Every structure is written in C-alpha cells, then in structure tokens.
Amino acid sequence: MKIIFEKLNLCRCVSVCSLLVALFFISFSAYSQKAISPKDFEKAHEKLTNSVSGFIKYTYNYTSPEQKLKLNVELFFIKQNNTVKSCYIKQYDDFMVSEYVYYNDTLFSFSNVKNKILSTQNFTLNPFEERDNKIFIYLIDGSYDYLISFLQDENYKISKANLPDYKNILQGESSKKADFNGVEGRLDTKILLNKKTKCLHSLYQKRDSKNKKSFPVVSEFEINSIELYNKMNPEVESVIHQKYLERR
C-alpha cells in the first residue's frame, strides 16, 4: 500500500510539473507574440512623422539596370503641421558633394562634382519632388505611411532581426503585387526599427518586374544616427538658418 501511495504521489508530482512546464511555454509564447506586436511599428511611425525637428545621418543606396549610387547623407529638418518647412541636406561620396537648403519657400542647390560647381535658386512649395531621396523626405513628413503600410499586406511578418551587433531590432517584411507606371510587378519591403528607442533603423524596398531593362530597382536607407524632437531644437534651427545665409 505504501508503494502504491508513493507511486501516486510521484504521478501527481510529474503531472504538476508537466502542467507548470506547459503554462510556462504558453506564457512565453504569449510574451513573444506581444514582443513583436505591430504596435511597435505604429509607435515608431508616430514618433517619426510627429517629430517637429531632428537630425538624421544615413547611407542611401540605389541600384537599377541603368544606375548604381551610394551616398552619405546628413539631414536637418523642421516641420510644421506634419510638413517639412525647412531643411538642410548634404549628400556626398568620393567624387561629389551636393547641398540643398530649403528656407522661406526658397530652395538653394549647390553641387561640386569633380571640381565642377553648379548652384541654383528656386522659389517652390514642393522642393523634394525631383530629388533622389524624396522617399525619405516623405517618410519624415508623413506624406506616405512607409513604416506601417506593409501591415496592410496579407503576407506581412514581423520578427526579431538576426543582427549580433544590435539589440532590440525588429524586422518587418512584406511582398505584394504593384503597378509601376503601367508595368505590373512586385514590391518587396523590409523595415528594421529599434524597439527600445522607437526609431527607424533601416528601410529597404525592391521594385521588380519581368521587364529587366528597367527592373529591379532597389532603394535602401541605412541610418547611422537619428535624433528626433517633439519641439523646435535650437541647434537644428541654427544649422539650417546658417546654411541659408551662406547660400543667399
């Protein structure tokens, strides 16, 4: 009889342990799902688009069958009512330097390409329409919901990025059919953001089609440093104003 009770107690112990293990994995699974919630991307989008001023340093890569481009970019911006009202952009590589200053509805452009200098001045309310990095400007001013648009795709997925040198990085991916000026194709998006700081880490987009004369086209923004403020930052304002005075 004693042996039977001992066996029953052992069975109860094993059952309790099994139940605890099962509860642990359920809790861990629920926590994991919560850790990669789309809300992290929504909060990062709000922080970026609702910022009033900021400084971003990033690398811009662009490749297509006709062109390959890699630029280092420094961007200072000031926004009002979710629209970029003034900014200073510096783009450079080993062969050229380009600067853009937008202030008081005036756009100053300056470029030095292999010691050939070109400068222009234009009055405009839409200064970024023809710029190579206009996607990033639109991403900042909220014209397009790049950080959350991929959440509307049926096959989007969010996971923890496998980047040993970085912690708290989440990866969002999607792929969907798209129309590129009458040409059918696919748009692949990959977004990395820092879950802890709620800041964008990188943005990758690939436009592809059966028309290999013009596709694929890849645009990638890799952020080196980013500072966002929910009010006017005097240092950012000073840099933009000083660059404006230099070009005026």
Cα torsion angle, 170, 180, 207, 126, sign: negative
Q: Which two tokens stand for residue 8?
A: 């029953």
User: 39-247: what CATH class?
Assistant: mainly beta
- In tens, the pLDDT along 110-130 reads 999 988 999 989 898 877 766
Summarised one tens digit per residue, pLDDT across range 39-58 is 999 998 888 888 999 999 99
Say what the pLDDT of residue 9 is: 52
pLDDT > 70? residue 137: no
How many Å apart are CA 232 and CA 230, to the nearest integer?
A: 7
Are β-strands 169-180 and 116-123 bridged in parallel, bridged antiparallel, or unpaired? Answer: unpaired
Residues 6+ apart with CB under 8 A from 154: none
Contact 31/210 with Cβ under 8 angstroms?
no
Checking if the pLDDT of 134 tops 60, the result is no
58 pairs with which residues across the strands? 73, 223
Length of the chain counted residue by residue: 248
Q: Tell me the whole-structure pTM to 2 decimals.
A: 0.79
Q: Enumerate the domain spans of the chain.
A: 1-35, 39-247
Going by C-alpha positions, the residue among 245, 248, 246, 239 that lies closest to residue 89 is: 239
